[in-house]
Amino acid sequence: MDFTGKNIVITGAGAGVGKKAAEKFLEHGARVMINDLREDVLDQAEQYLKAKGEVVSFAADVTDTEAVRAMAQKAIETFGGVDIWLNNAGTAKEVKLFIEQPRENWDFDIGINLIAVLNGCKAILPHFIEKKAGKIVNTVSDAGRVGEFRLAVYSAAKAGVIGFTKALAREVGRYNIMVNCVSLGTTKTENINAMLEMMPGGEEKMAKLYALRRIGEMDDAANALLLMSSDYVTWITGQTLSSSGGFSFVS
């Protein structure tokens, strides 16, 4: 896949899948703006990625509408335009039964997993509509497709993104804008690796949940994001691609 001449914004790219995707986009010729809320993490990621290609960073809270609008404007000014926007930021506050979740946990999960996506789309769409081209890729989870035990609100937020993606694709398709999701299963990020170390049975037990009998690598997730952002995708919109090793099969 060749991304030479493409300008890309990736939220939640200070670490994990977002950082890995940024690395791969850079290796394939793109110019990339990475975002994270944590300035120290973002600075470290930027320094690492500079060896791979042209990268800039923008620290912002993606649940803040005005901050995301400013990020989009900065990317347009820096690169002369944006071609691809990846709403990748997302996490769960706690893994806990819904009945035990305090209200602030709901607000957190909905904010980072759903509101952040709305903010990203709202910020970049005027630019895409003006140029009559653009791709938006939203990172979701199979939890949003089948529901996940002890992740009820997180699952609801991810399901919301999938529904929003379908509706938005209908609205903006006339402008040659494609909006899709990539749905991930358990992926061996820094946080997941730490969780597996504490879990009885660890990775071996978790792998049995997947048809391919292994947990996803960050390369697996990043490659799916690259695919849905690439020029190979020319007549696909409103869809969700699962890169989850067969955790779920959804028709």
* pLDDT tens digits for range 28-76: 999 999 999 999 999 999 999 999 999 999 999 999 999 999 999 999 9
Mean pLDDT of 95-111: 98
* pLDDT tens digits for range 3-21: 999 999 999 999 999 999 9
Mean pLDDT of 157-176: 99
Averaged confidence pLDDT in the chain = 94
Q: Are 240 and 165 in contact (CB under 8 A)?
A: yes
Domain ranges of the chain: 7-187+218-243
Catalytic residue among 154, 175, 210, 232: 154
Largest CA distance in the chain: 53
CATH 3.40.1170.20 fits 7-187+218-243, yes or no: no
Q: What is the DSSP string of 34-93?
A: EEES-HHHHHHHHHHHTTTS-EEEEE--TT-HHHHHHHHHHHHHHHS--SEEEE-----S
48 is catalytic: no
Q: How far is CA 104 from CA 70, 109, 110, 174, in A?
A: 26, 9, 10, 39
Report how far residue 248's alpha carbon sits from residue 124's, in angstroms, rounded to the nearest whole number. 32
